[in-house]
């Protein structure tokens, strides 16, 4: 299973830091992402959310298509 493109400008569950925290803490069970609440320490969850956010606006060698339109993500179109 491939997760969504984190390099484009459209993130399915919100694209700011707080949205990242909520997604990591609560998971997205209907899409197969389990909750991480209570597993790592809060500081570790914050570190993962911060790290994930660093992908936004980058250009990976083979980006996943944007989930918004089914077209390649912004980074791939440039």
Residue 6 placed within a domain: no
The pLDDT of 30-58, averaged and rounded, is 91
pLDDT for res 75 = 39
**10: confidence class by pLDDT, cuts 50, 70, 90:** confident
CA distance 8 to 39: 29
Q: Are 29 and 35 in contact (CB under 8 A)?
A: yes
Residue 1 placed within a domain: no
pLDDT for res 64 = 65
Half-sphere exposure of 27 (CA within 13 A, CB side): 11
- In terms of residue numbers, what domain contains 55? 17-77
pLDDT at residue 18 greater than cutoff 50: yes
Of 26-30, 35-39, 47-51, 74-78, the poorest mean pLDDT is in 74-78
The total number of structural domains in the chain stands at 1
């Amino acid at each position: 299973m491939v997760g969504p493109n984190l390099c484009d400008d459209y993130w399915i569950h919100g694209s700011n830091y707080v949205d990242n925290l909520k997604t990591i803490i609560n998971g997205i069970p209907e899409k197969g992402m389990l909750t991480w609440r209570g597993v790592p320490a809060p500081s570790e969850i914050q570190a993962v959310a911060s790290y994930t956010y660093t992908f936004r606006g980058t250009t990976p060698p083979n980006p996943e298509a944007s989930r918004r339109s089914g077209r390649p993500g912004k980074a791939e179109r440039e």
